[in-house]
Amino acid sequence: MTTQIRKRMLRLALLMPLIWNPSSSAAAENLSVRASCEVPESRRDRPLVAIDANTGRIRSIDSVHFPLGTQVEVVVFNKNPFLYLYEYEVVSRDLEADIIRDGLKLAGVQEPSTTEHGQPVIQLRAMSSDRACKKFAGTAWEEPCQRLEAANRLADRIREIKSAVGAHSAFLELADKQPRNSSECNALRNSAQVAASETPVLIELRSDGGSNLRRLQNAVATSLDAFPGAIASLESPECSADPKCKEPATLLVRRAIAVRTTLERAEEVLDQAASLPDPAVDRELILQVLGNEVAFVETFSLPRREDPTGYTVKILRKQRESGKSMPELTAGEILVGTSRFTISGGIGVSFAESRTFGRQSSLGPDGSLVPVFAVTEESDSRVAGVFQLNGCLVRCDESRARINWSLGAGVGAGEKAADLSLFTGPSFGFIDGKWLLTLAYHQREIQKLNGFVVGDPIPEGLQDPLPTRTETVGALLVTVTYKVR
């Protein structure tokens, strides 16, 4: 062996404790993973409504209407805590006050919000143990064997770095997407776990201003330079002739070929390791997330109120890296309690005589045609659109037929709507209270001739419109309406 190769091997032996230090990079930590992707089960005494953090939709199997006094919990699932920071806003409204206002003023109401948040450690893989060249002890081949063993430990280090680069890259790819279901959420969490356990290798490699990385690159180059001489020595005729050398040397040389391939690709692996985002920052975030019980699935209780209340949950997200606010996600309304008041719309039939007057020709006393007052249009009923506000009197449970007292008015343009004016009377709910039949009293304006009767001749020179007067009469109104609120 040349003096130059001996010097290189001595440098490599001195560098190895710095390049591969199991006590520093593999300090065993216990990984405490508290974060979970599982949506808890709903309980009878504490029902849950699950909202997808990806879409803002309430899960289709969840009920959104609960009896008054129920303590309802909201679960936000499919969160990506590596991509977004989350907050929640709960807007509540008094169902009864809101419906009364909507019914009488066509107005609305609003109220405030809630939030909450969680830490850990990691189990590192143990490094491969030293491989002794015991079978070559005291022989001329002990030194070449030790050179290949040093190269093998170096290759183990490169493989470990490659594994860490792969784990960290896979995590970064998943962390950049929003999970759509529990499987994708679990994949993200598991990938974060693996990355956290592998990242210390990258942190150590990139520490010390990059000097560790440069040492490793130099060690790889030195080891590759020493390969040919070591292999040539183990494949020499002297070793082949010695049964104690031949068999272990053959196995060592075979393994050395794979080791050499690994070292030849080391430059590419180290370049990838150097190009990743700062692994120390990523690992700190991963540890925070994995130790936070509400990182992926978060549960909070809706404020309990004494009156029937509707709750709307808003999910507010900010990109973790840029701080940019994302579009707000608003879930459908969660109803606790049943309002005694409803708004319904439909059609109404008013039963009151209605007449329109005009001119008509008739035979006069002398047999000539003269214009007379006549009824040009007549009906005993009139149909128009209606809306009504209904207050429950009896059987106010949503699932049963209700008895209400209703107040309503005609809707739309024109005489038909105006004719109905305001009306009031009892109404009866059927088909789970969604449809209402109302028998109401209302006052309706009708037209009568003023100073004349039907059949009177129209005085000469009397222009249209004909003289009429308006009278207000009471009438029965029957409505069929459908509950819209």
Residue 135 pLDDT:
66
Count of residues making up the chain: 485
Query: 371-403 pLDDT, tens per residue?
Result: 877 777 777 777 888 888 888 887 666 556 678
Residue 107 pLDDT:
30
Distances (CA, A) of 259 to 6, 16, 227: 20, 16, 10
**Poorest-pLDDT segment among 59-63, 66-70, 87-91, 199-203:** 59-63
The answer on 241 and 349 residing in a single domain is no
The set of residues, in sequence order, having a beta carbon less than 8 Å from that of 253 and lying 6+ positions away, is: 231, 234, 235
Residue 273 pLDDT:
83
On the question of pLDDT at 162 being above 60, the answer is yes
Query: 262-282 pLDDT, tens per residue?
Result: 777 878 888 888 888 888 888
Query: 173-205 pLDDT, tens per residue?
Result: 888 888 888 888 888 888 888 888 888 888 888
The answer on 299 and 197 residing in a single domain is no
As a whole number of angstroms, the distance between CA 270 and CA 160 comes to 11
Identify the residue with better confidence: 177 or 416: 177
Residue 320 pLDDT:
85
Residue 392 within any structural domain of the chain: yes
Region for residue 369 given its phi and psi (left: phi exceeds 0; alpha: psi -120 to 50; beta: otherwise): beta
As a whole number of angstroms, the distance between CA 167 and CA 272 comes to 12
Residue 40 within any structural domain of the chain: no
pLDDT band at 23 (very low <50, low <70, confident <90, very high): very low
Query: 41-60 pLDDT, tens per residue?
Result: 877 777 889 999 988 898 87
Instruction: Provide the CATH number for the domain around residue 302.
Output: 2.60.40
Q: What is the mean pLDDT of the chain?
A: 75
The answer on 112 and 140 residing in a single domain is no
Residue 10 pLDDT:
41
Element (H or E) spanning 383, and its range? strand 382-394
| Overall average pLDDT of the 477-484 stretch | 87
As a whole number of angstroms, the distance between CA 159 and CA 34 comes to 30
Residue 51 pLDDT:
92
On the question of pLDDT at 30 being above 60, the answer is no
On the question of pLDDT at 424 being above 50, the answer is yes
The answer on 105 and 159 residing in a single domain is no
The answer on 462 and 329 residing in a single domain is no
> Which amino acid does the sequence have at 115?
T
The answer on 438 and 302 residing in a single domain is no
On the question of pLDDT at 129 being above 70, the answer is no
Return the biggest CA–CA distance within the chain. 156
Residue 38 within any structural domain of the chain: no
Residue 36 within any structural domain of the chain: no
pLDDT band at 20 (very low <50, low <70, confident <90, very high): very low
The answer on 56 and 11 residing in a single domain is no
On the question of pLDDT at 482 being above 60, the answer is yes
The answer on 279 and 135 residing in a single domain is yes
Residue 106 pLDDT:
40
The answer on 146 and 22 residing in a single domain is yes
ω into residue 200 within 30 of 0, thus cis? no
**Residue whose C-alpha is closest to residue 308's, from 387, 398, 402:** 398
| Overall average pLDDT of the 366-370 stretch | 74
The answer on 23 and 71 residing in a single domain is no
**Poorest-pLDDT segment among 159-168, 212-221, 329-338:** 212-221
CA dihedral 10, 13, 18, 21 (to 10 degrees): -170
Q: 230 with 144: CB under 8 angstroms?
A: yes
Query: 446-455 pLDDT, tens per residue?
Result: 777 777 777 7
Residue 443 within any structural domain of the chain: yes
| Overall average pLDDT of the 307-311 stretch | 86
Choosing from 290, 310, 326, the residue where a domain stops is: 290
Query: 91-110 pLDDT, tens per residue?
Result: 888 877 777 776 665 433 33
Give the number of domains in the chain.
3
On the question of pLDDT at 284 being above 60, the answer is yes
| Overall average pLDDT of the 293-319 stretch | 87
The answer on 16 and 145 residing in a single domain is yes
| Overall average pLDDT of the 210-216 stretch | 75
What backbone torsions phi and psi does residue 136 show, to the nearest 5 degrees?
-105, 10
**The domain containing residue 173 runs over which residues?**
3-30+122-290
The answer on 266 and 136 residing in a single domain is yes
